[in-house]
Structure 1
Amino acid sequence: MAAVTADARGVMTNRAPEPSGRSLAPGGGGWKGHIVRQLKHRDRSQQAMFQDLIRFYSQLLEKTSLAKGILSRSDRRPCADSSSVSTLQHRISQMKKTKGELAYQVLELQQQIKIKECVLEEQHARLLKEERRLEGAFGSRQELQELVKQVQEENGSLKVKYDALLEQQKGAESRLREEKVREGHLLDDMIHLKEQAAARMNHRNERKSRAREAKLQKELQTAARSKVNIDSSSSSASAKTENQDETSEQTQTRLFRSASATSPRIFSSIKGLFDRKRRGHSVCSLQEDHACPVRICLSARVPARALQVLEAHDQDINAVRFSSSSDLLATGGTDCVIKLWEVRAGTLTHRGSLHGSTEGITCIEFDHTGSRILAASYNKSALLWRLDDSVPKVTLTGHSNKVTASRFISSSSVATGSADRTLRLWDLQRAACVHLVDVVSYVSDLVCSENSIISGHFDRKIRVWDTRVMSCVQELPAQGKVTSLDLSSDHRQLLSCCRDDCLQLVDLRRWSSDRMCYRADGFKCGSDSTKAVISPDGDYLAAGSADGAVYVWNVSTGNLETRLPDKHSSSISAVSWSLSGEYVVSVDKSRRAVLWSDM
């Protein structure tokens, strides 16, 4: 800001202050030139404001000098009029008063100028600070622009890669469709070849049977033509009576025909011939139809302690089942293997493994003879093994999602349920599906009895199907999503396990009667495939909980009979009770199997 100063003559003039900091070149470009122009404008405006004050002050100085001259002259002329002197003094006092006021105004204006100079300095400092911030913002903007350019380049390269991958995906999808079509053709060809092989086998078996029949007929004719000498008198009398009954056309007298045609040896040969003809090369042989001895359980034992704890599989265990003889146990899990265990004297001994599934096992069942095992798998199929062969004898394919349950209906037919909401009936002799039923909900488990299949579903329904017409004849409500079903040994009671942590027992003879529900503090159904069982005598229920404990209920009282904790470290997936009533086995998601008993 301009400062007001007085020169040697006593005249006040305007002078621009020296700029602080770095010098500003007048007329400079950019912000510097702008500042110079603002300072010049301020000087002009302030100079205009103080022009009158400077003029009055100059006049006051002139009048003061004039008054001094008059006073000096009056001193030299003592004879002047007293009136003029008084007038002059009055003027002088007025001038002094005016001078004082002007001086005060000058001081006030100087103070205001100092304040404005301070404000200007502050604004100049702020301006420098903003300039530095602006320079930093310019640098950040350039960095961001470079980063944006780099990201755009990376996006461009990623877009190119994405387009290439999209083309590869389209090609892979087209190849997948072609492979699926080829797979369908190959499957049809394989089925056709199997049918041809079966036809050839049947033709060979028929030829062999005809050859055996012809040979047997020839043997019978040879035996009929042979003569037998009978020494007893009764035999001679019988021979004479027979000869008398013959027609007159017979010229040669014969004795008895050989008794070999009706001998037990011939009958046993015929029986063996037709037995072999019936068996052929089917997976359902006559030996398999002969039932193995089954222990009768008069009273099941409530398990009290763990006899053995072992790491049965390499991964989670999903299913466990005792054979009908109670001396063999099968376990299956996500490691795609079924392991067989011999149960002797309260211990489990590994007997062998059954391979062939490409994905995890979901369900296991022995047939009534204990010589075959049926298993459901995550690979959309069910597999059938014979215990003397580790390779599957039959593979039942056709489901579009994982198979959750597979059960024997008879020695030659099975039923399967799947997450694809279908039930299928299979003929094991042909390895073909004979019935397909669409269901409205996910099939979690099923059990089979005479002429009926009972299935559990995620829509909280239990459905009963008539296998003769394959139609639903009954629907039962459940407490929640059904995770498993089990039939009592006399096929009179049905047990269901639900996701609402409840076991439900239904008397199949009285569908409309009240259903019994079993709950317990601490019991929690751990998964959508948790399996619960009925004891072989029908007096107890057993199920595994998410807390790793086995819960056992008394059917008649509805109370919790016992709780078996501390042996499982994770949720129990399945429980099986031996048909002899002696043992209970529980398996969990941490690869552990525990053998329980009251011994």
Structure 2
Amino acid sequence: MASGETGVQHHSGEDMRWKKDIISQLRERNRSQTYCFHDLISLHNRLFESANTLRGENIQLSITNEKLYREIAVGSPGAGSNIEARLLAQAEELATLHRRRGEHTQQIVDLNNKLQFFQKELQSKVASLEECMELNNTLRADISKCIMREKELENVNQTIKDEHQALQLAFASLEEKLRKAQEENRQLVERLIKYKAKDADKMNEENDNFLKKRQAKMQKELEDAARDTRPVSPDRLSVKEGIVGLPTAVPTNVSIKFNAHDGEVNAVRWSPVDKILATGGADRKVKLWDISKGAFECKGMLVGSNAGVMSVDFDTTGTLILGASNDFASRVWTVSDLRLRRRIRG
């Protein structure tokens, strides 16, 4: 409210200032335009006064002349020469007065011409003044419109300022919320990283324990096998060969050797329907291999495990593969591409 009153006072002060400027300019122009006529009017008045004075003197001289003529008609002869001298003097003075009157008349005519010229110039000045006044009125109307427009713009500007302040407050509030959310997110990420690290440590510990138990079991089986020195009878060997198909001799050569995984191979399983071998390794993958042609060929790769695959198995149809890993989860993959299966069979 104070800013609005200050703006009104400011505008009223500017209005009074330009009004005073216009009034002072008009007074200066009036003084400059009437100053040239001031001497003319004074001279004209003096000439009229002189003409009136001369006219009075002329009347008095005429009266005196009449008196002299009467005295001549009535008077003595000795006074005639004196009267004639006086008449001549009066006639000369009258001629001088007529000459001066003519000069004054000519001056009056010249002054009247000058006065007409100055009147015409004054009329042109008056017309110019009227045009200037009209222009001044137009400019005043424009100034009034501009002042109204300025007030409207000030109101709009004040509204925009208020909205800007409100937006700044809202922006500051949102920034504070964003900062809090980022801080909470950072804390949650740190907690998640800690939990993941704990899970990874726990998983590594379980893997180490599993490997240790497996190595201990294998060590124990090897020790038991090393301590078993009982001879094998021919009857028992033939019976075992007939039942389980054991070879009559221990193999000494490797048929096929290949690197199945990037790391340890934890599990292998034959498919019940095809000569397909499934392997699971520490690289979290299950791979399918075709070794029917005396060489190894990778026929597929199953991914999705979050830890090393420790066990794999097929169903009885050979279309489903089960895998168990150290991420506390078991996964089933479907071999649904029959064309792939036919190629594997072929």
Q: Aligned equivalents of 1:189 and 1:77: distance in 2?
A: 155
**1:195 Cα deviation from its structure 2 partner:** 0.9
1:111 maps to a residue whose letter is: K
Q: How does 1:285-324 map to 2 (within 5 A)?
A: none
Q: How does 1:256-271 map to 2 (within 5 A)?
A: 264=247, 267=250
Q: Aligned equivalents of 2:233 and 2:166: distance in 1?
A: 99
Aligned CA-pair RMSD:
5.1
Q: Residue in 2 aligned with 1:503?
A: none
Q: Residue in 2 aligned with 1:135?
A: 144
Q: Residue in 2 aligned with 1:226?
A: 233
Q: Aligned equivalents of 1:186 and 1:54: distance in 2?
A: 118
1:137-193 deviation per Cα after TM superposition (whole angstroms, max 9, x unaligned): 211221222122112211211221122122112212222321232132122112212
User: CA 1:86/1:258 → structure 2, altered by over 3 Å: closer, same or farther?
Assistant: closer
User: CA 1:160/1:37 → structure 2, altered by over 3 Å: closer, same or farther?
Assistant: closer
Q: Aligned equivalents of 2:143 and 2:42: distance in 1?
A: 43
1:185 maps to a residue whose letter is: K
User: CA 1:118/1:265 → structure 2, altered by over 3 Å: closer, same or farther?
Assistant: farther
**1:53 Cα deviation from its structure 2 partner:** 2.5
- Preserved CA contact (<8 Å) 1:60 1:99: no
Query: Is the partner of 1:391 in helix, strand or coil?
Result: coil
1:92 maps to a residue whose letter is: R
Q: Aligned equivalents of 2:291 and 2:233: distance in 1?
A: 44
Q: Residue in 2 aligned with 1:279?
A: 265
Q: Aligned equivalents of 1:154 and 1:160: distance in 2?
A: 10
1:165 and 2:174 are equivalent in the alignment = yes
- Preserved CA contact (<8 Å) 1:225 1:257: no
1:56 and 2:46 are equivalent in the alignment = yes
User: CA 1:62/1:199 → structure 2, altered by over 3 Å: closer, same or farther?
Assistant: same
User: CA 1:112/1:258 → structure 2, altered by over 3 Å: closer, same or farther?
Assistant: closer
- Preserved CA contact (<8 Å) 1:67 1:92: no
Q: How does 1:199-214 map to 2 (within 5 A)?
A: 199-206=208-215, 209=218, 213=222
Q: Residue in 1 aligned with 2:344?
A: none
Q: Residue in 2 aligned with 1:391?
A: 304
Query: Is the partner of 1:280 in helix, strand or coil?
Result: strand
2:189 to 180, 195, 205: 180
1:117 maps to a residue whose letter is: V
**1:118 Cα deviation from its structure 2 partner:** 2.4
- Preserved CA contact (<8 Å) 2:287 2:302: no
| Higher-Rg member (1/2) | 2
**1:125 Cα deviation from its structure 2 partner:** 1.9
- Preserved CA contact (<8 Å) 1:226 1:258: no
Of structures 1 and 2, the one scoring higher in RCO (CA 8 A, sep 6+) is 1
1:97 and 2:106 are equivalent in the alignment = yes
Q: TM-score, normalised by structure 2?
A: 0.52
Q: Aligned equivalents of 2:266 and 2:95: distance in 1?
A: 163
Q: Percent identity?
A: 12
1:86-123 deviation per Cα after TM superposition (whole angstroms, max 9, x unaligned): 33432332222222222223223323322332232233
2:201 to 192, 196, 218: 192
2:266 maps to a residue whose letter is: G
Q: How does 1:145-160 map to 2 (within 5 A)?
A: 145-160=154-169
Q: How does 1:307-386 map to 2 (within 5 A)?
A: 370=298
Q: Aligned equivalents of 1:289 and 1:171: distance in 2?
A: 50
1:72-97 deviation per Cα after TM superposition (whole angstroms, max 9, x unaligned): 76997996545455334323322222
Q: Residue in 2 aligned with 1:110?
A: 119
Q: Which runs of 5+ in 2 are unaligned?
A: 1-15, 70-86, 259-263, 268-280, 309-325, 327-346
1:52 maps to a residue whose letter is: S
- Preserved CA contact (<8 Å) 1:227 1:257: yes
- Preserved CA contact (<8 Å) 1:292 1:369: yes
1:204-263 deviation per Cα after TM superposition (whole angstroms, max 9, x unaligned): 533664576578679x756x253559xxxxxxxxxxxxxxxxxxxxxxxxxx99998xx7
- Bigger proportion of residues as helix: 2
**1:203 Cα deviation from its structure 2 partner:** 4.0
User: CA 1:257/1:123 → structure 2, altered by over 3 Å: closer, same or farther?
Assistant: closer
- Preserved CA contact (<8 Å) 2:291 2:297: yes
Q: Aligned equivalents of 1:93 and 1:51: distance in 2?
A: 20
- Preserved CA contact (<8 Å) 1:283 1:393: no
Q: Which moved more, 1:51-60 or 1:30-39?
A: 30-39
- Preserved CA contact (<8 Å) 1:290 1:369: yes
2:131 maps to a residue whose letter is: E
User: CA 1:37/1:67 → structure 2, altered by over 3 Å: closer, same or farther?
Assistant: farther
User: CA 1:49/1:173 → structure 2, altered by over 3 Å: closer, same or farther?
Assistant: farther
Q: Which runs of 5+ in 1 are unaligned?
A: 1-28, 230-255, 294-367, 372-386, 396-429, 431-599
- Bigger proportion of residues as strand: 1
Q: Residue in 1 aligned with 2:339?
A: none
**1:135 Cα deviation from its structure 2 partner:** 0.9
1:9-48 deviation per Cα after TM superposition (whole angstroms, max 9, x unaligned): xxxxxxxxxxxxxxxxxxxx99878877877784796585
Q: Residue in 1 aligned with 2:6?
A: none
Q: TM-score, normalised by structure 1?
A: 0.32
User: CA 1:292/1:85 → structure 2, altered by over 3 Å: closer, same or farther?
Assistant: farther
User: CA 1:106/1:290 → structure 2, altered by over 3 Å: closer, same or farther?
Assistant: closer
